[in-house]
Amino acid sequence: MIPLWYGEGDLPTPAFHRRGGDRSPASGAYFYTCKAGLPELRAAIAEYLSGLHPAGPVGAERVLVSSSGMTALMLMARR
């Protein structure tokens, strides 16, 4: 078994992350986000990947943006 649920590092959280965390509640961003990732981010990644490979366009529905290893495994297992 490979333990992919360990996410607690021993380094302090970078200042720019802390500042973003301070602003999030004021912007209304305090709920869980989309499991597969924000649609805008998935679309941007799909567009980028489509430009890299001559095999044809990559649809945003084929892109997943995971917040953790366990979430990625769960998303892949259900697809």
**Domain extents in the chain:** 34-79
Q: Residue 19 above 70 pLDDT? A: yes
pLDDT digits (tens, 9 = 90+) for 42-62: 999 999 999 998 888 999 999
Q: Residue 79 above 80 pLDDT? A: no
Specify the pLDDT at position 60. Answer: 95
Q: What is the mean pLDDT of the segment spanning 9-24?
A: 81
User: Which residue pairs from 58-64 have beta carbons closer than 8 angstroms and sit at least 24 positions apart in sequence?
Assistant: 63/36, 63/37, 64/36, 64/37
Q: Residue 11 above 70 pLDDT? A: yes
Helices (H), 2-68: 15-27, 39-52
Specify the pLDDT at position 26. Answer: 77
